[in-house]
Amino acid sequence: MDEKLSSVFWNIQQRNVGEPEFIQSVKEVLESMGPVLAKYPKFTEQKVIERICEPERQIIFRVPWQDDRGEVHINRGFRVQFNSSLGPYKGGLRFHPSVNLSIIKFLGFEQIFKNALTGMPIGGGKGGSDFDPKGRSDDEVMRFCQSFMTELSRHIGEYTDVPAGDIGVGKREIGYLFGQYKRISNRYESSVLTGKGLSFGGALVRTEATGYGLGYFVQEMLAAKNESLEGKTCVVSGAGNVAIYAIEKVTQLGGRVIACSDSKGMIHDDEGIDLETLKRIKEVDRASVEKYCETRKQAKYRRGGNLWELPCDVALPCATQNELTGRDADALIRNGCKIVAEGANMPTTPEGTAKLIAAGVAYAPGKAANAGGVATSALEMQQNASRDAWSFEFTERRLATIMKDIHDRCLETADEFGVPGNYAQGANIEGFMNVADAMQSLGLI
């Protein structure tokens, strides 16, 4: 890390004790900022780094709700409104038992730069709760969402803060949240939430957007090497929304995805993952990927298996933070992996990232590679504001164009700052420059 930034980082650590995920995300960005401060000393003088690392607002609240048996539960809700220099705060809501302030802050911090890279007028924020929707009835999820939104509603709005979905928050949850917001506000404010169902203001391609965008980004990474996805062997961690639609788009573009996983284990199908079977298991049955082998007899299931040990050309971590370790990076390098692109947020540990880059593997961070989801959320906001509805084909073309533009600007910025081919530094610097310029223009606020 640049010497000027070491003391800044130390102060950030002291102010955010007990928040390891947030500190990790800040360190990853600050390690890229040395060349920027050397070229633009004004950012040091105005303490832009310090300001961008401090959320504009952090909201923590109690969420009481009642289950089907009448038992009362108390969960904790969060919304971190990190930076609104480019537009209203924009970022998902995550419902998962692991949610705490550190995780929400790391996600919100990443969202600042991700949203800036899209070129859309949206700031960065994130929220969620330690509520676990797994195993809960629709009525229980509805009651929780209504209680959660009763408090959250006073902090959001189409010109203030526009949440979306994330882990544990899909169309069902967004529907309940929007219904309660409409009830409280007495306004049909469609663009206050994105990821809605198509019957009440949702956008085509939003469900597929993060995974599809990841596929398009990988296609551009290969094109930069004068290659294509045709015939490439790929592995994808996870079996949720991002993973499923990344598999779909990679397959459409000619790649062959041979493995995916969930929290219990992994499946290896050397003939290529059968998407229809996987979708039925995860989206309809909501079951473990182990059931995949009941239909695809040639596939192998490994409980607790590590798909990063499989030989592949392309690896796409799409599950959760810090899932791809230094040891996993060693296995990928040893087996000839050429590209790692992140579909999840910060899924590669710092050690893993360093090893991949040092070995010459093309590594794309989530803030660039998985930006298709939030970009399409912004497109949903546009449609809501204009009372319009675009076709699937039109929206997907917009998505593909945005992902190509993000890819190209990451490479151009990396070249400009003396780190050619380094997508991580290119993404960090490009995103930071966009936000920092806006912050300077708005004055000391």
Please tell me what DSSP assigns to residue 87.
S
What total of structural domains would you count in the chain? 2
- Residues tagged in the binding site annotation: 90, 111, 114, 165, 210, 241, 377
* End residue of a domain, out of 369, 389, 404: 369
CA dihedral 277, 278, 279, 280 (to 10 degrees): 50
- Residue 171 belongs to a domain: yes
- Residue 394 belongs to a domain: no
Radius of gyration of the chain (CA): 21
- Residue 157 belongs to a domain: yes
Residues 177 and 322 in one domain: no
The 3-class SS string of 420-433 reads CCCHHHHHHHHHHH
Cα distance between residue 228 and residue 219, in whole Å: 6
Q: Environment class of residue 123 by beta-carbon count within 10 Å: exposed (0-12), middle (13-18) or buried (19+)?
A: buried
- Residue 354 belongs to a domain: yes
Decide if 279 is catalytic: no
- Residues tagged in the binding site annotation for NAD(+): 210, 241
Q: pLDDT tens digits for the chain (445 residues)? A: 778 899 999 999 999 999 999 999 999 999 999 999 999 999 999 999 999 999 999 999 999 999 999 999 999 999 999 999 999 999 999 999 999 999 999 999 999 999 999 999 999 999 999 999 999 999 999 999 999 999 999 999 999 999 999 999 999 999 999 999 999 999 999 999 999 999 999 999 999 999 999 999 999 999 999 999 999 999 999 999 999 999 999 999 999 999 999 988 999 999 999 999 999 999 888 888 999 999 999 999 999 889 999 999 999 999 988 999 999 999 999 999 999 999 999 999 999 999 999 999 999 999 999 999 999 999 999 999 999 999 999 999 999 999 999 999 999 999 999 999 999 999 999 999 999 999 999 999 8
* End residue of a domain, out of 354, 369, 384: 369
Q: Which of 105, 126, 182, 249 is catalytic?
A: 126
Residues 266 and 351 in one domain: yes
Domain that holds residue 236: 209-369
Residues 364 and 227 in one domain: yes
Angle at the Cα of 364 (from 361 to 370), degrees rounded to 5? 150
pTM of the model: 0.93
Residues 240 and 95 in one domain: no
- Residue 284 belongs to a domain: yes
* End residue of a domain, out of 369, 384, 409: 369
Closest CA to 1 of 40, 23, 29: 29
Residues 218 and 356 in one domain: yes
